[in-house]
Amino acid sequence: MDRAALADFLRRRREALQPSDVGLVPGPRRRAPGLRRDDVAALAGMSVDYYARLEQQRGPQPSEQMLAALTRALRLTVEERDYLFRLAGHGVPRRVPLDAHVAPALLRVFDRLEGTPAMILSSLGEPLVQNRLAAALFGDASQYSGFERSGIYRWFTDPSSRAVYPQEDHERQGRNQVASLRAAYGAAEGGAGSRAGRLVAVLLERSTEFRTLWGLHEVARRFEQHKTLVHPELGRIDVDCQALFTEDQSQALLVLTPSPGSEGEEKLRLLAVLGAETFA
């Protein structure tokens, strides 16, 4: 672990970012360039003291989880992420198409989406980041780990996960999930040994429905242009769906917008005011 280089790298990356780069509103008391230490700590989900010690060349070696959180908070490129891991004394994460490193270009767009549900998904259907409205609609993905983070996995192993869609859409959604997973499997290095391959093997073992749909050999990254979502308190919410993909198709920014003046717009406005906690 190179404490001096790590501290200098973190400070320089922090100072190179503006509040607007990470979705923050500049305050009147900002004098120093770039982000403040408390900004980075909040974005990374760590204490200000912990982050400050890193910049002061003190404290314990950060874990890989902490480094991943700093990577996202500081909007690092893949190359910068690898450098950060090296400075902290860790091996460089493998670069594969299903990498959970969020593409900075998608993050910049995501940061500017506050009034409408938005999230960035991996090709395995894992929410890598969600805004508050997306978490209120689909549930907070941070509570899951392993394959349970994948919406594809939960669709075929946890019936309650389907409640966000009306019953009449379940068959189409299931086919879309499997077609997306087959596309991810085809793009993955390592075939059956890749994360996509392991997920396929688990679902083939645990779900008869998945085995049937997998046998159709449908391959596509599908997001319906129109979705009807079901909230437990607000009922049906109609939204339009737009997906922005990275060049290698490994990640997608999903944005859900209601028609202007529609009942869906009113319900999302109410959800934004009340939040998910009210409906817990």
SS3 state of residue 31: coil
Residue with tokens 């209120």: 136
pLDDT tens sequence across 178-199: 999 988 888 777 778 888 999 9
Cα–Cα distances (Å) from 183 to 96, 125, 250, in that order, read 15, 12, 10
Q: At 121, which helix (H) or strand (E)?
A: strand 118-122
Q: How many residues does the chain have?
A: 280
Report yes or no: 21 and 75 within 8 Å, Cβ to Cβ.
Answer: yes
| Global confidence as pTM | 0.68
Positions in the chain whose pLDDT score sits under 70: 25-33, 94-100, 275-280
Q: What is the pLDDT of residue 28?
A: 61
User: Angle at Cα 63 formed by Cα 195 and Cα 60, nearest 5°?
Assistant: 170
User: What gap in Å lies between CA 214 and CA 40, rounded to an integer?
Assistant: 43
Q: CB-based burial of residue 58 (10 Å sphere; 0-12 exposed, 13-18 middle, 19+ buried)?
A: exposed
Q: What is the pLDDT of residue 96?
A: 46
pLDDT tens sequence across 199-217: 999 999 999 999 999 988 8
Cα–Cα distances (Å) from 74 to 41, 58, 103, 114, 154, in that order, read 10, 20, 12, 19, 31
User: What gap in Å lies between CA 256 and CA 243, rounded to an integer?
Assistant: 9
Neighbours of 121 (CB within 10 A): 25
Domains of the chain, start order: 3-87 (1.10.260.40), 104-279 (3.30.450.180)
> Which sign does the torsion angle of CA 92, 253, 175, 157 carry?
positive
In the Cβ-directed half-sphere of 230, how many Cα atoms lie within 13 Å? 12
Residue with tokens 């997608």: 252
